[in-house]
A and B are shown apart, each in its own frame.
Chain A
């Protein structure tokens, strides 16, 4: 049979989970990572990353809105696929997505953004005109109280939500890893390390994305980049990446030492069908190169322009590497036979329901949403002043 090597059971020949299921953990990872970067400033008071705080929240929100779409598209049946949200089965890890999603989107992200922007929204509701005025008015929920006391309450509430939000972000992406890690029939996925590896790779990808978004936003707005902020984000990216890489290596070493019955088969797959996406894209281009670029900045002091270039390259390669990691997990886990005696091929379609075209569209859509959000709620608004301990904080 074309594309099949050795022995495959009939139900293994065709892959059930396509590129859309690769996008699902990739997008939710970006959400969790972006939120965790935002929480650094809020909870851990890392002042240097403050210019990216709101941008990170809006990025997380924009991607969160798109996160369920790959699943919906994959399910097909638009007339009933929404039922995964209305009638989730409590014993199915996959169906629990609805609960995790609604908690994170509505309670954590929406509330945090709303509380942080409330003062801006009130001011804009009074100054804007036309349709925008009505949108801002709606967003005020009829409350125009922006007294110091009221803003201090917002600050306190926002802080509590962020504190709740951090374990929620961990839960969201740990859960995505759990979906794969709990499939005991698949040795490529079944490891308790999977949720932790997914979580750290999510943080890596989210931080890299916000860093790139910040660089792009500054460039578009023709403003001076805050190098202290960029250096700090790059440093956090480096630290998180080191932990992520160590965890992945730990998993690899563990598999090699354990050398279970599946090892030979999986090892063969990595050296053949997954060589490009795993060894070249994920490990060399997507991990070693960005890690080297980021590490070099911890040792040497380059000029601002060189650092920007290095961070940009590291961020871009990191995103490619993490996407390749999701690809290798989702697609790689379906390429080999449970008999460990054969391999199949994944043929990526183009303009079909689960093809490359909808995948590209789903990756562009969050940026369109973020652009809309930024237009409505500018993250660099001059009115953004946070009350810290009853005092107005800095202006970003």
Chain B
């Protein structure tokens, strides 16, 4: 046993290191960790405290129901207002303080409708250069109801 005393010392070192680790872990672990699951419980509160950027379609509908009526009958019925107009929570809070900028349809429409061989063939797509020659899309199409005729 005397000849193996150093092994007992190294074992004691490991046990001590483990205990120190557990103590440090206890100390540094966020207090709310594990409250609801494998995350900090306080993270929910922190996320909730962040400013809201998107108002949501029902909020837009409260003032712009005329636009929504048109949109709902078109091919774009399932697209959220803020997908094109950007986050508008500030505008919803105070319409005078934050005025939405009308999107440039030349860029906006091309995001989805620029022709690409990888897109499903039935999806409406054009080569914007040939199709409009640099003209803004909304000079012919109404974005809320894009079908002509």
Which residues on A are within 8 Å of B, measured CB to CB?
6-7, 82-83, 86-87, 89, 106-107, 111, 114, 118, 140-143, 145, 147, 149-150, 153-154, 157, 339, 341-342
Give A114 to B13 CA distance when docked, in angstroms.
Answer: 13
B9 within 8 Å of A (CB atoms): yes
Q: Would you give the shortest CB distance from B80 to chain A, in whole angstroms?
A: 15
A143 and B5 contact, Cβ closer than 8 Å, known pairs A114-B10, A341-B118: yes
Q: Is the CB of B25 within 8 A of A86?
A: yes
**Residue in B6, B17, B25, B116 whose beta carbon sits within 8 Å of that of A150 in the complex:** B6
Given known contacts A87-B33, A106-B17, is B116 in contact with A141 (CB within 8 Å)? no
* Contact of A143 with B118 in the complex, beta carbons under 8 Å: no
Interface centre among A141, A145, A149 (most CB of B within 10 A): A141
- Chain B 1-32 per-residue mask, 1 if CB under 8 angstroms from chain A, else 0: 01111110110011001000000110011000
Docked-complex contact B28 and A153, CB < 8 angstroms: no
A89 to B34 Cα, complex, angstroms: 11
* A–B pairs, 17, beta carbons within 8 Å: A6-B117, A7-B116, A82-B28, A87-B29, A87-B33, A89-B38, A106-B17, A107-B14, A111-B10, A141-B9, A141-B10, A145-B3, A150-B3, A150-B6, A153-B3, A157-B7, A342-B118
CB-based nearest B residue for A142: B9
- CB B64 to nearest CB in A, in angstroms, measures 27
Bound state CA distance, A7 and B29, in angstroms?
43
B contact residues, total (Cβ < 8 Å): 21
Q: With contacts A7-B119, A141-B6, A149-B3 known, is A86 near B17, CB below 8 A?
A: no
Q: How far is the CA of A106 from the CA of B20 in the complex (A)?
A: 14
Chain B interfacial positions (CB closer than 8 Å to A): 2-7, 9-10, 13-14, 17, 24-25, 28-29, 33, 38, 116-119
Instruction: Please state if B118 and A6 are interface contacts (CB–CB under 8 Å).
Output: yes
Contacts of A114 in B (CB 8 A): 10
User: What residues of chain A lie closer than 8 Å to B119, measured between beta carbons?
Assistant: 7
A153 to B2, CA, bound (A): 11
User: B14 contacts which of A106, A142, A149, A154 (Cβ < 8 Å)?
Assistant: A106
How distant is the Cα of A83 from the Cα of B38 in the complex, in angstroms?
A: 12
**Which of the residues A82, A106, A118 comes within 8 Å of B6, measured between beta carbons?**
A118
Chain B residues whose C-beta falls within 8 Å of the C-beta of A89 in the assembled complex: 38
Q: How far is the CA of A210 from the CA of B119 in the complex (A)?
A: 51
Chain A residues contacting B24 (CB-CB under 8 Å) are 86
Beta-carbon nearest neighbor of B118 in chain A:
A7
- Chain B residue nearest to A337 (CB atoms) is B118
Tell me how far the C-beta of A50 lies from the nearest C-beta in chain B, rounded to whole angstroms: 24
Task: State A147–B2 Cα separation when bound (angstroms).
Answer: 11
Are A339 and B118 in touch, CB under 8 angstroms? yes
Min CB gap B134→A, angstroms: 20
Bound-state Cα–Cα, A160 to B130, Å: 75
Give the Cβ gap from A78 to chain B, nearest Cβ, in Å: 13
Give, as a whole number of angstroms, the nearest-CB distance from B18 to chain A: 9
CB distance from A87 to the nearest CB of B (A): 6
Q: Smallest distance from the beta carbon of A86 to chain B beta carbons, Å?
A: 5
* A-B contacts besides A145-B2, A150-B6, 10 pairs, CB < 8 Å: A82-B28, A86-B24, A111-B10, A141-B13, A145-B3, A145-B6, A150-B4, A153-B3, A153-B7, A341-B118
